[in-house]
Structures are given as structure tokens and as C-alpha cells.
């Protein structure tokens, strides 16, 4: 016998999280309170996402963990190791082979299928928090669909900057009812929130779980005269040449040389393996 | 105490409940999809799927209503031994179990509050058969449309109009399980 339960959490805790997940699916975009447990990792490491993943995993799953699109950061590797050890699941870096994907700050570029679950790590689940710090008040605002202030804030952006300045955690309305924080994904990813996969969001410190079922309407808040645009850097990937992927800017030498590369490392590697090339690909650079 | 009261729990609870939950999540996230749920066995008249779902989701923190027909001494004993859920009336229930007619009027169950719509009952409805025919389902979780052999349509449509308040349903027949969240639009087939 091992010293810990399957997927680390005790059965009673998993039942509580599972009940919260089912209500979250039944009320898309609504934040269900849950009693978050201490996890053997700091809060910044996505303890909410880890608890949701723990409640969902079966021994048959194949888990992928990404941090800002990358499989090889310390955070992603630690979480993958944690579940390899505690749940005995296989892990993968291939988006298409994963049945459960835990993510921080990105949605994979490749469209997800209806046999996949995407679990988001969420730091601040409440999209109205910056307008109203009191939880009782934000809960009331959601109950009454009082989202006018949210639109005012976005419109002030337009007045000040000529465009909506929010580029991460861009608020969405789910199935025409709840305004939801999609976690700090770039707004480029917002259109992918309408997916065939089950999307689950876990906030550990703030003890909230919410969800978007498959095939659910998700609309980024905008205005008729300033429609939402899922913008990205106006470059192609310098390694794989992709023109429609989200890019990270990377400093490549002491002289300030820069390149743009896909933030989704599996997407980029897959394209390179298929023979796609970018400006700085090894062959092209010779 | 009858023998079947002491048996029928999970032999490997962490793994069996994990598999059962994934099937239930899949069913609720994709209304109309019929999944298989097994591993639990309770005294009659509980189906395998209903017994497995109770073992997976219920415990001492989830007040349970047993509708007439399911409220039998051996069922109460089984629930007390394996689950520990307090048996309550429909007005206090977090979960309710029974046949459709026995569950009675839906407005007797908690539908949540505007601040906490999640504080609503989940009904487990035992059916003789469960098939992808009959009522037409549309809404979140459904790409185009789905069909499900529901016992009726009007009550579910009334339930949907109360969104975000409302009840959520699991349907069980043998080892088959399907689900209907409050968001699903239900029309006669
Ligand atoms: Zn690339």
C-alpha cells in the first residue's frame, strides 16, 4: 500500500470536488464554492487546477500539463511528476494524445476533441473583483446580471486608448448569462473557449470551481463600434513559420536580437517535424 | 440485517469512483449521451447505475431523499452502511432517488438561490429503459441535437425556464446512465 490515496486527495474531498464540478457543468460560467485543500505545492503553482485534475483522473488517462504553452517548465514538470506518482497515469506532451490537459495561461493551438478535458489553473476567478472587492456584492451582481459596470470599464479603455486595452483574462459571457474570467489566457485564445472538449476551471486560493460544457456559446464582451479582435503579434513563427499561432518574443543574443516562436511548444515541434520551416530554422539559417 | 445490505460497496473505491465520476461527468456535460456505470450493487429496487452513482457522489454531507418505492428498510440500511447520507424529505434533499412518478412534483425540491444556484437538488430517476430516442435535446453540451427516452418533456422545459436556478437529473436503467442539466432545451420527439 502506498502512503497516499489514488490521485493524492482523500475520497471525501474528491466527492466534494466532484459534486462541485457537476454543478459547475450544469450552470455554465457560474463560480461554485468548494473547500480547497492544502496541496504539497505553493498556491502560485495551480493548486486549484491540481485539485480539479485529481478529482477527474482515472488510471486510464494520459495527462499533459502546460505552463504558458510549454510542457518543459519547472511548474509543468512538477505537476506531471506529481500525478505520475500519485495516480500512476501516463503523461504526454502531445496535445492530440492527451485525455486530460492541465494548463496555465494558454489554450492549445490544435482544436480539442470531445474525448478531452481541459483544466485551467485560475488565480482570480471573479471577473468583477477589480470593480467590487466584496464577495457578497459580486455574488449579488452575478445574481442580478448587473454587468453594466463591466461594460463601462471596457468602454473607458476605448475612450483612453482608442481600443480595449485588456489583453489577458479578457472577460466573456457564457451561454448568454454569466460573465466569466477565462483565466489569464491571452485574448487571442478566447475564440477557442467554444470547444468540443469539457473545460474546467479551478481556483485554489479563492476556492472556486467553474466550467464551460462542450459546444457552449462563449462571447467576448465588446461593443458594436469596437468589436472584439483576437489579436496576436504580427509575425510568423521563426521556427515553424506558423502564421496563426500565439507567439512569444525571445531574446536570442546579447546584441538584442529577437525572434518570435510559438508559445505552444507541442504545436511548434509538430509543425517542424512535418517539415514546416521559419526564418530562423536551423536549415534556413545556414 | 440482510446480507445484501453489507455487500455491494466498491471493492476499490478510489479507482471505481474515479471511473464512475468520469462517466457521470461525461453524461452531464453531453446531455443525451448514454454511459455505463457499474461496480456498486444495492438491494432492490436500485439499479446498478443508481447504486454506483450514490457510492460515487454521496456521503454524510449529502442529505438524500428516497421516493416511495425506493424508501425500503433494506435500502435505508444499505445507504446507512455504505454511504452514511442522512435520509430527508424532498425539501431538504441534495440528492433524490426514485422512479419518475414517485419523485412527485419538482417544485418540492430545492432549486438553489439567486446567489447560490448550485445549492439545488440532483434527482436520480430510475427508468425501465434508456435509449437515444424520443425527446429532442438541444443546448450546452450538444453539438446539434440529441435524443433521449425521457419520461416526459413538459416538466423539464419548465425547469429550464428557471435557469440559473433549477434541478439537474441523472437517469438510470440497469447499468446505463444519462443526464439532463437544467440548461437543456427539451422538446417532444
Ligand atoms: Zn512555431
- For B52-73, what is each residue's pLDDT tens digit? 999 999 999 999 999 999 999 9
B103-143 pLDDT, tens digit per residue, is 999 999 999 999 999 999 999 999 999 999 999 999 999 99
Looking at residues A115-128, what average pLDDT do you find?
97
Residue (of A148, A196, A188) closest to A166 by Cα position: A188
Looking at residues A139-158, what average pLDDT do you find?
92
Q: Is the pLDDT of residue A27 over 70?
A: yes
Q: Is the pLDDT of residue A9 over 80?
A: yes
What is the torsion angle, in degrees rounded to the nearest 10, for the CA atoms of residue A191, residue A192, residue A198 and residue A201? Answer: -80
Q: By CA distance, what is A24's nearest residue in B?
A: B118
d(CA A51, CA A188): 27
Looking at residues A56-76, what average pLDDT do you find?
96
Q: By CA distance, what is B184's nearest residue in A?
A: A26
Q: Is the pLDDT of residue A285 over 70?
A: no
Q: What phi, psi does B78 have (nearest 5°)?
A: -65, -45
Q: How far is A143 from chain B (nearest CA, A)?
A: 5
Tell me which residue in B18, B56, B181 faces A58 most closely, judged by beta carbons. Answer: B18
Q: Which of A9, A26, A113 to mutate to probe the B interface, most B CBs <10 Å?
A: A26
Residue A240: pLDDT band with limits 50, 70, 90: very high
Q: Is the pLDDT of residue A2 over 70?
A: no
d(CA B65, CA B95): 6
Looking at residues B89-94, what average pLDDT do you find?
98
- What is the percentage of chain B residues whose pLDDT exceeds 70? 99
Query: Is B171:B125 a contact under the CB 8 Å cutoff?
Result: yes
Looking at residues A100-113, what average pLDDT do you find?
97
Average pLDDT, chain B: 97
Q: Is the pLDDT of residue A167 over 50?
A: yes
Q: What is the pLDDT of residue A1?
A: 44
Q: And the C-alpha cell for B60?
A: 454524510
Residue A252: pLDDT band with limits 50, 70, 90: confident
d(CA A103, CA A88): 20
How far is C-alpha A95 from the geometric centre of its chain's CA atoms? 14
The interface predicted TM-score (ipTM) is 0.98
DSSP state of A10: -
Q: And the C-alpha cell for A45?
A: 503553482
Tell me which residue in A18, A114, A139 faces B57 most closely, judged by beta carbons. Answer: A18
Q: Is the pLDDT of residue A284 over 60?
A: no
B51 and chain A: CB distance < 8 Å anywhere? no
Residue (of A29, A35, A89) closest to A65 by Cα position: A89
Beta bridge partners of A45: none
Q: Is the pLDDT of residue A55 over 70?
A: yes
Looking at residues A222-227, what average pLDDT do you find?
90
Residue B52, SS3?
helix
Q: How far is B129 from chain A (nearest CA, A)?
A: 24
Q: What is the pLDDT of residue A136?
A: 95
Lowest mean pLDDT among A37-46, A185-194, B58-67, B146-155: A37-46
A240 noted as active-site residue: yes
Residue A286: pLDDT band with limits 50, 70, 90: very low
Lowest mean pLDDT among A111-125, A203-217, A227-241, B175-189: A227-241
d(CA B155, CA A83): 43
Q: What is the pLDDT of residue B76?
A: 98
d(CA A137, CA A123): 20
Q: What is the pLDDT of residue A221?
A: 95
**CATH H superfamily, domain B3-187:** Bacterial phosphonate metabolism protein PhnH (3.40.50.11310)
Active-site pick, A48, A202, A240, A278:
A240
Lowest mean pLDDT among A229-243, B18-32, B82-96: A229-243
Q: What is the pLDDT of residue A256?
A: 85
Sheet holding A218-220, edge to edge: A178-180, A172-174, A218-220
Where are the domains positioned within chain B? 3-187
Amino acid at each position: 500500500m502506498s502512503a497516499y490515496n489514488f490521485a493524492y486527495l482523500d475520497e471525501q474531498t474528491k466527492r466534494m470536488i466532484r459534486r462541485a464540478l457537476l454543478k459547475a457543468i450544469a450552470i455554465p460560467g457560474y463560480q461554485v464554492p468548494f473547500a480547497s485543500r492544502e496541496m504539497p505545492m505553493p498556491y502560485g503553482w495551480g493548486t486549484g487546477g491540481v485539485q480539479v485534475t485529481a478529482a477527474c483522473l482515472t488510471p486510464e488517462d494520459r495527462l499533459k500539463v502546460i505552463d504558458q504553452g510549454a510542457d518543459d517548465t519547472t511548474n509543468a514538470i512538477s505537476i506531471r511528476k506529481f500525478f505520475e506518482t500519485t495516480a500512476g497515469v501516463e503523461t504526454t506532451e502531445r496535445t492530440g494524445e492527451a485525455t486530460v490537459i492541465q494548463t496555465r495561461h494558454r489554450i492549445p493551438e490544435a482544436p480539442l476533441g470531445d474525448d478531452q478535458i481541459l483544466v485551467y489553473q485560475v488565480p482570480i476567478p471573479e471577473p468583477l473583483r477589480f470593480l467590487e472587492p466584496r464577495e457578497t456584492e459580486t455574488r449579488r451582481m452575478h445574481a442580478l446580471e448587473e454587468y453594466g459596470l463591466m461594460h463601462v470599464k471596457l468602454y473607458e479603455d476605448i475612450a483612453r486608448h482608442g481600443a480595449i486595452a485588456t489583453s489577458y483574462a479578457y472577460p466573456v459571457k457564457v451561454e448568454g448569462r454569466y460573465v466569466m474570467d477565462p483565466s489569464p489566457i491571452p485574448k487571442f485564445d478566447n475564440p477557442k473557449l467554444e470547444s468540443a472538449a469539457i473545460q474546467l476551471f479551478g481556483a485554489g486560493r479563492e476556492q472556486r470551481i467553474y466550467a464551460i460544457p462542450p459546444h457552449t456559446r462563449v462571447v467576448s464582451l465588446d461593443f458594436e463600434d469596437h468589436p472584439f479582435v483576437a489579436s496576436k503579434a504580427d509575425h510568423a513563427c521563426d521556427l515553424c513559420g506558423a502564421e496563426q499561432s500565439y507567439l512569444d518574443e525571445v531574446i536570442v543574443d546579447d546584441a538584442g536580437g529577437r525572434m518570435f516562436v510559438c508559445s505552444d511548444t507541442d504545436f511548434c515541434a509538430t509543425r517542424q517535424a512535418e517539415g514546416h520551416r521559419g526564418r530562423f530554422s536551423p536549415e534556413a539559417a545556414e | 440485517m440482510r446480507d445484501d445490505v453489507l455487500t455491494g460497496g466498491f471493492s476499490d473505491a478510489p479507482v471505481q469512483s474515479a471511473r464512475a465520476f468520469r462517466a457521470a461527468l461525461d453524461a452531464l456535460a453531453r446531455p443525451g449521451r448514454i454511459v455505463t456505470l457499474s461496480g456498486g450493487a444495492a438491494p432492490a429496487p436500485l439499479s446498478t447505475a443508481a447504486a454506483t452513482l450514490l457510492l460515487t457522489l454521496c456521503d454524510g454531507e449529502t442529505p438524500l431523499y428516497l421516493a416511495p418505492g425506493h424508501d425500503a428498510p433494506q435500502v435505508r440500511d444499505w445507504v446507512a452502511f455504505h454511504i452514511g447520507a442522512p435520509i430527508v424529505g424532498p425539501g431538504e434533499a441534495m440528492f433524490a432517488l426514485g422512479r419518475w412518478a414517485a419523485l412527485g412534483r419538482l417544485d418540492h425540491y430545492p432549486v438553489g438561490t439567486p446567489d447560490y444556484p448550485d445549492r439545488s437538488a440532483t434527482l436520480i430517476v430510475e427508468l425501465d429503459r434508456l435509449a437515444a430516442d424520443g425527446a429532442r435535446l438541444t443546448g450546452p453540451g450538444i453539438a446539434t441535437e440529441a435524443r433521449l427516452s425521457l419520461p416526459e418533456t413538459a416538466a423539464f422545459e419548465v425547469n429550464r425556464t428557471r435557469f440559473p436556478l433549477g434541478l439537474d437529473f441523472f437517469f438510470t436503467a440497469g447499468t446505463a446512465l444519462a443526464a439532463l442539466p437544467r440548461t437543456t432545451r427539451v422538446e417532444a420527439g
